[in-house]
Amino acid sequence: MEFRHLGGSGMKVSEITYGNWITHGGQVEDDAATACVHAALDAGITTFDTADAYAGGAAEEVLGRALAGVRRASIEVLTKVYFPTGPKGHNDTGLSRKHILESIDGSLGRLGMEYVDVYQAHRYDAASPLEETMQAFADVVRSGKALYIGVSEWTAEQLRAGQELASALGFRLVSNQPQYSALWRVIEADVVPAAQELGISQLVFSPIAQGVLTGKYRPGQQPPAGSRATDERGGGAHFVSRFLRDDLLARVQLLGPIAAELDLTPAQLAVAWVLQNPNVSAAIIGASRPEQVAENVQASGVVIPLPLLERIDEVLGDAVERDPARTAQNAPKTRLA
């Protein structure tokens, strides 16, 4: 496993990070989730990402139990705040001071930890003054309940405004967590240049495009039984649906020979691809089985030669989503209750 600095901070994270969105507390049983976490630790992963809203808080609880007994200083634990939690009352969402300060205590209780390494704004909250949000995050850091502050799916303009306020309050934003894959490159035009300027790095989720870049979804065929595309209960089917077009799936099948040239599986190629971006500190992988973790960690340290990167671009062509406006379009316009 290789490690990279998180933004302009002195802390390093494992460039393959284990995340439990959708899976823990939802798609897979607790024993299987614990086995995946232990497989991640065995593979050298030290960084674990979760959120208070995942599975109604159950994901944090599962992760906390799975990491119990692990030396705390040897791992990095990240969680998030924004989306509705608890009984979903009028103050159970957003980035108000009230919700942030109550939510960090809730997350620490579920994780069974005294602090998290990175506390992230899960989305931008247009309903709360940014000054209020940043002051609350400053107080979370000063209290020792979080060591660093990050965000998720913020636009370039929001990153600039947030970093300016954070700096005035004595801390820095160190990370942004966007969706990013060879098929979804909306951050490249605006977000990445702004982040590089501000000392913020990317912790990217869905590097395998919800499993599509494994090649298991084939044009003209029904999704495999047990795949994310069939997961109605955990919500996986909704998130993967945008990629299930026959023209796109046909192009993805052509990536297999490129992966083979590097002695990689298509999934490993997809994870290695996002790590070629120097502004990416880590690729967040999920898993429902330990062997998936063992496979994906093999992408650490892989260098894809430029000619093969160019071939990937040629193969995927106009199937790639590049519109930078998609970041803002996918952000909540009003608070979700």
pLDDT tens profile 236-279: 666 787 888 989 999 999 999 999 999 999 999 999 999 999 99
Residue listed under structure tokens 């290789």? 2
Q: Rounded to whole angstroms, how far apart are CA atoms 123 and 151? A: 7
Q: For position 259, what pLDDT does the model report? A: 97
Rounded alpha-carbon distances, angstroms, from residue 262 to 182, 214, 217, 309:
17, 15, 22, 12
Q: Is residue 42 part of a domain?
A: yes
pLDDT tens profile 7-19: 999 999 999 999 9
Share of the chain above pLDDT 70, in %: 93
Q: Is residue 284 part of a domain?
A: yes
pLDDT tens profile 282-305: 999 998 889 999 999 999 999 999
Q: Is residue 334 part of a domain?
A: no
Q: For position 334, what pLDDT does the model report? A: 82
Q: For position 49, what pLDDT does the model report? A: 98
**H or E segment at 105?**
helix 97-111
CATH code assigned at 28: 3.20.20.100
Residue listed under structure tokens 């924004």? 82
Q: Is residue 51 part of a domain?
A: yes
**What SS3 class is residue 86?**
coil
Chain mean pLDDT for the chain? 93
Which range of residues forms the domain containing residue 224? 3-329
Q: For position 144, what pLDDT does the model report? A: 98
Angle, to 10 degrees, between the axis of helix 97-111 and the axis of helix 58-67? 40
Compute, in degrees rounded to 10, the torsion defined by CA atoms 23, 29, 31, 32.
-50
pLDDT tens profile 167-177: 999 999 999 99
Structural domain total, the chain: 1
Write down the pTM of the prediction: 0.93
C-beta of residue 127 within 8 angstroms of C-beta of residue 94:
yes
Give the Cα-Cα-Cα angle 245, 249, 250 (nearest 5 degrees).
120
Q: Is residue 266 part of a domain?
A: yes
B/e letters for 232-253, b = 16+ CB within 10 Å, e = fewer, are eebebbebbeebeeeebbebbe
In which band, very low, low, confident or very high, does the pLDDT at 28 lie, cut at 50, 70 and 90? low
Positions annotated as catalytic residues are 54
C-beta of residue 185 within 8 angstroms of C-beta of residue 113:
no
Rounded mean pLDDT of 134-144?
Answer: 98
Q: Is residue 336 part of a domain?
A: no
Q: For position 68, what pLDDT does the model report? A: 96
Q: Rounded to whole angstroms, how far apart are CA atoms 242 and 156? A: 24
Q: For position 237, what pLDDT does the model report? A: 65
Give the Cα-Cα-Cα angle 149, 154, 155 (nearest 5 degrees).
135
Burial class (CB in 10 A: 0-12, 13-18, 19+), 60: buried
Q: For position 235, what pLDDT does the model report? A: 55
At position 25, the amino acid (one-letter code) is G
Q: Is residue 63 part of a domain?
A: yes
Q: For position 236, what pLDDT does the model report? A: 62
Q: For position 156, what pLDDT does the model report? A: 98
Q: Is residue 242 part of a domain?
A: yes
pLDDT tens profile 174-210: 999 999 999 999 999 999 999 999 999 999 999 999 8
